[in-house]
Structure 1
């Protein structure tokens, strides 16, 4: 039986951002607690944070900033959806973020059908979200596309098939994407359970092993870094 990791590694020429942008126009971005430069940035203000991303891309002569898988972040302290009085803080990011301007076309990573979709409204949430279901060899798994534009959800229907590389939506702005600088949250999910239109993209440290096992590194598929 072929493992999911092998299926992901064997996939070639996978893109989720407009195909006209080549991988040499990508630059790694560290938003972890270890990046001390972020301490002087206003992470709570999406406009200021967007300027930070834009300046970072310009200074690196790049169009897409990427990173975040298995990254501990302070970014989520601004929203109560990641912690309430009685629960452990969720601050471990388990997807891959691709930071680029709003309106950028978002592509289906692989051929699949719409499993579910939802407008996850609220400060700090995904905003408009699409989940695709994939069947490759003996594996069934899912890809999640979060922080899309609101009109990306127009006229969608569960079960609609998208080809690999077909546009499934556009990237949203801070008004609809949970109040973030525009970016795609891309996540691979092995067992989605009963979740529909949503799946945790940030977890607690005590749940990290489970989520890393259930949500493989998206770079296995996208191959941004070797």
Structure 2
């Protein structure tokens, strides 16, 4: 049994041990899938290159569709990274997105979905990077799992220390605004890893296509934890 299967079995055996990442009321909230691939002709270079215009586009889509959050991105081939020096350090662009993004209002509260402890944290303050980032460590009946929360507010890092216990449902932090979250529209990058590979406070949120097989082994599907109802995704 591989680690992905172990995680699925743990969740099946302990459904009450997994909680929310963001507040979501299925009786009145909907979710909008957001496409950042080349198939989305609405996202012009002019929109993507401007944080203000990009933010306006995201929140206009949410308002038009009466959705609380925009979601998506797990192993999505993202063409919007093509103009960023952060993702173009070699001839092969890091354009496969490894987590799920939840797009919503700045200051949205982020919650710990599984009891654990603080593994590491860091302000990755390059343009286009995560900005304030927190990584939690979870022990699931012997299976080690790490959860990453990127694009948080500066305040989210205050008072943390490595090894600090984090209860199920405890606030982790809040969505940061563009001035502090790496120059992005407000959102959360949520990602799951089985191995941190020696890194602290950071882990790649995108990979090169040639690296896909490696990361598919180490990156778990965030939807296993998020568990948003399919009926609320429009």
Common fold: TM-score over 0.5: yes
CA contact (8 A) 1:69 1:93 kept: yes
1:39 deviates by: 3.1
Partner of 2:36 in structure 1?
A: 31
Counterpart-to-counterpart distance in 2, 1:94 and 1:54: 23
Where 2:53 maps in the other structure, the secondary structure is helix
Where 1:157 maps in the other structure, the secondary structure is coil
Counterpart-to-counterpart distance in 2, 1:7 and 1:215: 16
Say if 1:162 and 1:55 are closer, same or farther in 2 by CA, change over 3 A: same
Which aligned pairs between 1:59-138 and structure 2 lie closer than 5 A?
Answer: 59-84=64-89, 86-138=90-142
Aligned residues: 223
Query: Structure 1-normalised TM-score?
Result: 0.93
Alignment partner of 1:178 is 2:216: no
Stretches (4+) displaced over 4 A? none
CA contact (8 A) 1:9 1:220 kept: no
Partner of 2:54 in structure 1?
A: 49
CA contact (8 A) 1:133 1:142 kept: yes
Where 2:48 maps in the other structure, the secondary structure is coil
Say if 1:90 and 1:225 are closer, same or farther in 2 by CA, change over 3 A: farther
CA contact (8 A) 1:16 1:109 kept: yes
1:84-123 CA-partner distances (Å, limit 9, x unpaired): 3x44110000100000011111111211100000000111
1:16-72 CA-partner distances (Å, limit 9, x unpaired): 11x2x3244222211222222223761111111111111111111111110000101
Out of 18, 25, 32, which is 1:22 matched to?
25
- Where does the alignment leave 5 or more consecutive residues of structure 1 unmatched? none
1:7 deviates by: 2.4
Where 1:80 maps in the other structure, the secondary structure is coil
1:14 deviates by: 2.6
1:145-200 CA-partner distances (Å, limit 9, x unpaired): 00000111111101111111110111101111111000000000011120100000
Counterpart-to-counterpart distance in 1, 2:39 and 2:149: 26
Alignment partner of 1:148 is 2:152: yes
Say if 1:9 and 1:71 are closer, same or farther in 2 by CA, change over 3 A: farther
Query: Structure 2-normalised TM-score?
Result: 0.90
- Where does the alignment leave 5 or more consecutive residues of structure 2 unmatched? none
Counterpart-to-counterpart distance in 1, 2:222 and 2:46: 27
Where 1:42 maps in the other structure, the secondary structure is helix
